[in-house]
Structure 1
Amino acid sequence: MKNAALLKDLADCASPETLLAAILKHYPQLTVPIDVEAIARSAGIAEFRDLDVDGATSTLMADIAKTQGIISVAAGFSAPRRRFAIAHQLGHFLLKAQRGDRQCTSRDLAENRRDTPHRKEEMQANRFAAGLLMPKPLFASFVADLGKPAIAHLPTLAAAYRVTLEAAVSRYADLTQTTCAFAFIKDGTVRLTRPSRSFPALSVRSGDPAPAAVGSTAPKEETAWFPADVRDWLSIARDVRQPRLAFQTSRKANGFQLVMLYVDAAAERRADEEAEKLANERPRFGR
């Protein structure tokens, strides 16, 4: 059922962030997993259907004024992927600058670039979907309660919020204060990397061979931190002190592997301060 007060506030929103703020205002008692279909109905989505369209994984049909819409999702989608697809199409529906009818592919539902108008719109819908399914206040509190950073937290987050592991990792990287990065690996090849905002520039890219060290750890060791060779992962200038880098890895089915890279930012600050102190204390001899 439509929520008239919510619709009034949403009409004034022009970005994923303002849309999410309006929704959180009207649903202050949200609990996880988020009931995405109930929120979509309150915002004007009249029906959800199974989709059977070649090439598309989800679609949106809406009237010209975008007051009412229908979302369809591929029938074979798992529950986490279906929930994200619904949230993604709801983003297209609520972002008034975007046209109402959409046919989105799996690539669209993973888009994070903005270098073309199409990619920018898909990225905005994905930002909205992540924020709706994993609201910042709830997600940040949940992560804090888990304690020190660990790769084992990511499946826990994915299960609690009923999202894919990739979606949980992406949201974690967006919101964490930890200096960390993630790499998804398939059969020894890097498929996707996701650094946090404070993490140094990665040298590995999608399609690169995974560093040999990540393949030598046993699955039972996923709770241990191993020293990582900075040269395998980071683009660091020769005249810059290399940070101490550690990693954890978790192996999944069918050749998939998740790697978490970690830099202890506090320890790095202390090391920089110590190096600066030693440099200042070193005697200088004039000619």
Structure 2
Amino acid sequence: MIYDVIIVGGSYAGLSAGLQLARARRQVLVIDAGQRRNRFAATSHGFLGQDGQSPQAIAAEGRSQLMEYPTVTWVQGSVVQATVEPQGFSLGTEFNGTFQGKRLILATGVVDELPAIEGLQERWGTRVFHCPYCHGYELDQGRIGVLATSSLAMHHALMLPDWGATTLFTNGVFTPDAEQQAQLARRGVSVQSAGVRRISGERADLELDDGQVFKLDGIFTMSRTRLSPLAAQLGCALADGPSGAYLHTNDMRQTSVPGVFACGDASLAAGSVALAVAEGVRAGVGAHFSLVSG
């Protein structure tokens, strides 16, 4: 069987794209490895109508609604190979064989590569975050740390005082210049330049190399993000974002490869459930228009 559209990734963006195509009565295959980027977080915020719900519950309800449409097929597994063929695209999976589709939507998300600091990985999504809009309010105007991974930590440091008393830990990564120091001072941000040794405690006790310990309610840091290798296999053009490369798309979310569309964190220099759902709509509609126009 040749599907009208194959969607790689069954999280928020992929589900949203699939819904548009299912309602156009197109034959859709979703292949999902079950590794949502926000799987470590207990609740999701900032998505109208779903604020405070668990990420798992939002995704499960979305899948349940999508699978009510008879033209949708779901395969649980990982895609390991993608190739362009005369009739469209061929996708090889790790354990479920090969599938063909006329159009392809990459909703693969990204992999977060975190700073190598003891205690950080296990607190990712619970006490260490990347998005103030997603998690800042729940810190209840408490003590917030910004852990620098580059000079772009200034962005976090200048935003976060709206959510609580903020300390920027430069960790030897960069030194704010005079203008940046003045900006931080105007926002009431304190700066610690010593290296960060570890994060411990029930919440987020941040210990510096000089022995100081800061008891924080939450820490924000910027990960490096890594794309699925499928984009490179297909030859899709990339754009540079603040945390890593992402897929370059046009207004209809088509990549540089005709017939290949992208949505969600893989094609945005930002991470948000609400944005992923919105971009999924655009990619699904874009893929459908492409089928209609030939």
More strand by share: 2
TM-score tier, shorter chain, comes to under 0.3
More helix by share: 1
TM-score normalised by the chain length of structure 1: 0.25
Larger radius of gyration: 1
TM-score normalised by the chain length of structure 2: 0.24
